[in-house]
Structure 1
Amino acid sequence: MIFETLLSQMPYLVHGLTVAIGLLVCLLSLGLALGLVLAILEVYGHWTLRLVCVLFERVFRGIPAIVLLLLFYYGVTDYIEMGSFTAAVLALGLRSAAYQSQIFRGAFLSVPNGQMMAARAMGMNKLQAIRDIIIPQALRMSIGPWTNEFSSELKATSLAYVIGVVELTRQAKYIISNTQGNILVVFGVVALMYFVVNRAGNWALYRLENRLSLPGFEHRGDA
């Protein structure tokens, strides 16, 4: 009986999964763009900018994701109108930016200082050297650590149900309410769906990491 119910409800679970993936793409994109800027400012910026970036990173890494979701949806929306999906993207995206900034910061610091010196000696200014020499190498070296952020934020999307985002976890709760139970089976299917997406994403990132690996640097294929 439950399996027939699950089969009939599968389109709703698939829709919930697409919402979760959409949320993941949006928050990771925000985190990547902002995290990269934060990392550049932390490594190459004036000390006042470094201080601001460090404070941002410490604050958003130190607050639990679910508290950020509640803060943005029930607090910020008192002043700025936004839906639950947008609030989730901002809350989780800014948190992701804090974590990604440290991934990129480590990658920037791993690029030998001599490359910056050589670029400046060739007539490049600091911004040109960062853009054309440092960032391309740092992004390649960030792919490995970034897989952990992908997995972490995929799982964090399940928390968005607390502010009303109808993603995979909330769809599962609807099915459980309608069928009066079957918690183990329904959430077992949900866990499997998260696992498949996580493994598929990691596999793609591992392939990308090996393809773009820099000569002379250890990568996953060497392990």
Structure 2
Amino acid sequence: MLTRASGIARSLATYHGIPGRQRRMRRFYSAFLRPGDLAFDVGAHAGNRVRAWRALGARVVAVEPQPDFTRLLRLFFGRDDAVTVLPLALGAAAGTARLGVSRATPTVSTLSQRWRDTVADDAGFSRVTWDSSIEVPVSTLDALIAEYGVPAFCKIDVEGFEADVLDGLSRPLPALSVEYLPAAHDATLESLARIEALGRYVYRYSPVETMTWDTSAGDRWVDAAELRALLDRRRPLGRSGDVYARHVPA
């Protein structure tokens, strides 16, 4: 119980306790969201992006399979009619799946056993254990779109399960992001392939939670080949981040 409580407290401190982060986040996401827009937060966790997006006037569907964090999201946003909290995961098809839970570090709880095996030898995960598991319901991005509409922006941060989530999407979205972790470099490349299959996209990279753009390839959006080269250069640095994609209509 103590481990679980400390894990929740750590997430709250990380995602809500750093001065200035919400301001930077609002400024950053204002390039993607306007008042009245719809946003999907897939892997909403402690809700820091939900908070920023609501401050921008966006409507938010927050997807989170961990019961502790679903309760937190409902505590934070339960009286806000513009926020819908869904206690489930997303994947390639509707059903159920086993979520590996790290009670001490719940931010790395995951549906992907392959991702767990991949990152287990990384120094950054040396103290991480997935010491519990729960069965969770699974839906798809297509199902969410059918019910709520097409989001102007969709964040997907689900610890190595991003490509599976994208397998449940059959149409391009205006803009989206997926997590990048150097220890699971190939998982991001799989996600990139799924995005490319949906339509023509351009990309930018943001280092971990900085809410700034990497400008090593210039201050511009790049194609998939340039993004792969950028990630190859960043991989030895060992720092995570997020890949952002914008759809370029035909």
Output the TM-score relative to the length of structure 2. 0.26
Query: Larger C-alpha radius of gyration, 1 or 2?
Result: 1
TM-score computed with the length of structure 1 as normaliser: 0.29
Relative contact order, higher structure (CA 8 A, sep 6+): 1
* Bigger helix fraction: 1
